[in-house]
Chains A and B, each alone.
Chain A
């Protein structure tokens, strides 16, 4: 009975964008992030024949990371397009297609390669609606894996969350789990504005339990709304993408020591759900941000600045602390790479320092 009530509550609150994963319901459905993205693409392409996918290896190869598996077979050449390895060209073409009446999903094999096309993301896509004073919109999605993978070295490990979320005219989402991936990608495709979807390669293979609602073809999450993954009263942890996992692991470890962390999964970087963070900090009085990207001008910096400017500042018992990737290009050697990405112990240490549990 209690189980059913919780599941109902979870379904209802899912739509509102805030739900509590403290339920101990073992959902019958396991869904990997990869399959979540795949079904989002499939469902949206089925729903609107103007939605199409383009990028390197998305069609006949089934996707470099198999995210688009089966789509070319189902939808054909016109709707799943293999591009040459020419990011500037095909990103520009995707923007033109959006201006001209279609809803392209432009994949970057990783967001590192988007740097070759970043002029189109920002100057051709993000700014056009404003420059035209509301005449021409660009309903485009740029998606692909972002941030560090495993052993891919400096040129293939950068997190672009800070750069893209810096720019007005864009929307930027950064899903963590399968529910996020599906709901946010569907929202992005349906959105009339340009949306950057920052996925994470290391999460593709991870399965998460999901409700039936998530599996439905109308499951859409609101852009700009964070989710409280775990409730707590001692300190707020804010993270996005794979760093949410690290924050949750740290929260579990800390719970064993009597520290209750509230873990917020940002889900979106622009708009940033400031209100959810503010309310949480007012409750807990302490804040640690966690991200894999570099510290300077990063997502954590933005959150800190916003909290300092908000009513929540006066509720802080200690300064906001950021846990970030190390301020170096990503090294290859395994132990170095691990040291460069925030681990559970980094978050635990930061929490204990902030709560003055350690000196």
Chain B
């Protein structure tokens, strides 16, 4: 009976060129309705495969999207298993991020968020998929499109949103802002394009030195992919055999510049040259997850010492619905049609929902329930983010140094000095 479900899933599950849904636009929507009707009609014949006591399965297999390889013989697994718990988790995480980013955009328009605000909507499958593969000992570092990352790495929705509005419950007490969110094993949130990549290689060095058998994932965009310091990082990571996974989140545009106008080579997964690479369809959360499982194994097993085969350069093809930041409408360098097409045919949340409902891991009703829980959680967080207070002015002089030799901090004039305080517990003390 499980075989029947699998057969049905693979036959009826939309297949096509990487990133393309079978059928397009409204045809795809009709297809989903048809599928749901069919499932209900077939339900009585499928009782044998249901999990005990429920109307859903506990586990299902899925094909991963085809990968492209650079200097590798073996691809990540062609199929993967997803449990019901994971399915619900990934769905919820992606919806939280989608909702959170939408709310952040609104807060920005209301001027409750100032300065920079770079939204991750459309790219959710990447951070959720990667997080689905990482173990607690693994680390992540990314650039400024970090809200989704901060969330999956452990920051609460309130913590992220209050940081955006600069309030005391923000993950950096409001002192960092949109681009500077941190938590254990998550090293930001970095504002300087490309700088996070060698820093991430350095975290991988520490992992290797301290024999943690852990990787560090360094994310960057297609715009950052041309930065010289990336190649310096690849070089040293390869020489030193570091457990570093460099990942390009290729959303097609570096600010307003399309990839073909910025990069002489747009095959970012090959740009590591002597560093092996993998191209991944970033709209499929399970494909992303599987590629990271492969990467973790690659970086922590085998090789000259048995502790890893060195770095990898991954490219995850994705799309961002919003402009580069809130100052960019995102339509001067691409068409609305293009954005619409992705939303309707390649949206990662929609695709995953279809997958898990088709496979009987979840029902449409319970996903709707998750949707309303997510809505409430984000709405509640927005309320807090708007009403929470900023930290007291005196705290602007807090936590400049772990060990300040001088506790008087000069103010705007010599007449009103501040006193250095130490407020928070350092989480990477060593």
Which residues of A in the span 84-102 have a Cβ within 8 Å of any Cβ on B? 84, 86, 88-102
The distance in angstroms between the C-alpha atoms of A135 and B207, with both chains bound, is 19
A104 to B429 Cα, complex, angstroms: 14
How far does the alpha carbon of A121 sit from the alpha carbon of B242 in the complex, in Å? 22
Known contacts A86-B232, A100-B216, A134-B424: A93-B175 contact under CB 8 Å:
no
A124 at the interface (CB under 8 A from B): yes
Once the chains are docked, how many angstroms separate the CA of A136 from the CA of B139?
Answer: 13
Instruction: Assess whether A137 is interfacial by the CB under 8 Å rule.
Output: yes
A176 to B175, CA, bound (A): 37
Interface centre among A88, A102, A133 (most CB of B within 10 A): A133
Q: Are A136 and B202 in contact (CB under 8 A)?
A: no
Count of chain A residues with Cβ under 8 Å from any Cβ of B?
52
The reply to whether A223 and B210 contact each other, CB–CB distance below 8 Å, is no
Complex Cα distance, B304 from A80, in Å, reads 20
Tell me if B91 counts as interface (CB < 8 A to partner A): no
B4 an interface residue at 8 Å Cβ cutoff?
A: no
Asked if residues A132 and B198 are in contact (CB atoms below 8 Å), the reply is no
Q: How far is the CA of A134 from the CA of B189 in the complex (A)?
A: 15
B192 at the interface (CB under 8 A from A): yes
Contact B402 A223 (CB under 8 A): no
Using known A-B contacts A84-B239, A90-B198, determine if residue A123 contacts B192 with beta carbons closer than 8 Å: yes
Interface residues as binary, B219-233 with A (CB distance below 8 Å gives 1, 0 otherwise): 000000000110111
Any A CB within 8 A of the CB of B84:
no
Contacts of A93 in B (CB 8 A): 198-199, 201-202, 205, 233, 236
B4 → chain A closest CB, angstroms: 49
The reply to whether the CB of A331 lies closer than 8 angstroms to some CB of chain B is: no
* C-alpha spacing A95/B195, complex, angstroms: 10
> What is the CA–CA distance of A337 and B191 in the complex, to the nearest angstrom?
41
A83 CB within 8 Å of chain B? yes
B410-429: CB near A (< 8 Å → 1, else 0) gives 00001000000011111111
Q: Are B209 and A52 within 8 A (Cβ)?
A: yes
B interface secondary structure, majority: loop
Interface size class of B (residues with CB under 8 A): 35 or more
Contact across chains for B203 and A96 when beta carbons are under 8 A apart: yes
By a CB distance below 8 angstroms, the chain B residues around A130 are 175, 399-400
In the complex the two chains form, is B198's CB within 8 Å of A192's CB?
no
Chain B residues in 8 Å Cβ range of A131: 172, 175-176, 180, 182, 188-189
Complex interface: chain A residues within 8 A of B187 (CB): 96, 99, 136
Q: Judge if B95 is at the interface, Cβ distance under 8 Å.
A: no
**Contact, CB under 8 Å: A88 / B228:** yes
Tell me the complex Cα distance, A102–B216, Å. Answer: 15
A309, CB-defined interface residue at 8 Å: yes
* Shortest Cβ distance from A194 into B: residue: B401
Contact call B427/A88, Cβ cutoff below 8 A: no
Is A120 part of the binding interface, using a Cβ–Cβ cutoff of 8 Å? yes
Q: Are A133 and B405 in contact (CB under 8 A)?
A: no
Contact in complex: A89, B422 (CB < 8 Å): no
Are A129 and B172 interface neighbours, CB within 8 A?
A: no
Contact of A137 among B175, B191, B402, B406 (CB under 8 A): B402
Q: Is the CB of A169 within 8 A of B428?
A: no
A102 near B209: Cβ-Cβ < 8 Å = yes
Of the listed residues A103, A131, A191, A268, the one surrounded by the most CB atoms of chain B closer than 10 A to its CB is: A131
CB-nearest residue of chain B to A270 = B406
Tell yes or no: A271 within 8 A of B by CB: yes
- Chain A CB within 8 A of B398 CB: yes
* Min CB gap A65→B, angstroms: 23
B129 at the interface (CB under 8 A from A): no
Known pairs A97-B209, A123-B195; A89 contacts B400 (CB<8 A): no
**A-chain residues with CB within 8 Å of residue B231 when the two chains form the complex:** 89
Of residues A96, A103, A168, which shows the largest number of chain B Cβ atoms within 10 Å of its Cβ? A96
Whether the pair A129, B406 counts as a contact (CB closer than 8 A) is no
Judging by beta carbons under 8 Å apart, are B182 and A84 in contact? Answer: no
Contacting residues, chain B, for A96 (C-beta < 8 A): 141, 187, 198-206, 216
For residue A84, which residues in chain B have a CB less than 8 angstroms away from its CB? Answer: 232, 235-236, 239
- Are A271 and B202 also in contact (CB < 8 A) when A132-B180, A134-B399 are? no
A213 to chain B, nearest CB (A): 21
Contact with A along B371-403 (1 / 0, CB 8 A): 000000000000000000000000000111111
**Taking CB as reference atom, which chain A residue is nearest B205?**
A97
Contacting residues, chain A, for B204 (C-beta < 8 A): 96, 100
CA gap between A123 and B188 in the complex, in Å? 12
Question: Whole-angstrom distance between the alpha carbons of A123 and B209 in the complex?
Answer: 25
CB distance from B66 to the nearest CB of A (A): 33
Contact of A99 among B203, B409, B422 (CB under 8 A): B203
Tell me, in angstroms, the Cα distance from A315 to B69 when the chains sit together.
Answer: 75
Cβ < 8 Å to B, chain A residues 132-148: 132-137, 139
Query: B114 near A: Cβ within 8 Å?
Result: no
Judged by a CB distance under 8 angstroms, whether A119 is at the interface is yes
- B344 lies within 8 A of chain A by Cβ: no
Residues of A within 8 A of B (CB): 50, 52, 78, 81, 83-84, 86, 88-104, 119-120, 123-124, 128-137, 139, 168-169, 171, 191-193, 222-225, 268, 271, 309
Q: 5 extra interchain contacts, Cβ-Cβ under 8 A, other than A89-B233, A96-B199?
A: A96-B200, A129-B399, A135-B172, A192-B401, A193-B403
Q: Can you name 15 A-B residue pairings with CB atoms under 8 Å?
A: A50-B210, A84-B239, A92-B198, A96-B205, A97-B202, A98-B202, A103-B430, A123-B191, A123-B192, A124-B199, A134-B423, A135-B428, A139-B430, A169-B400, A169-B401
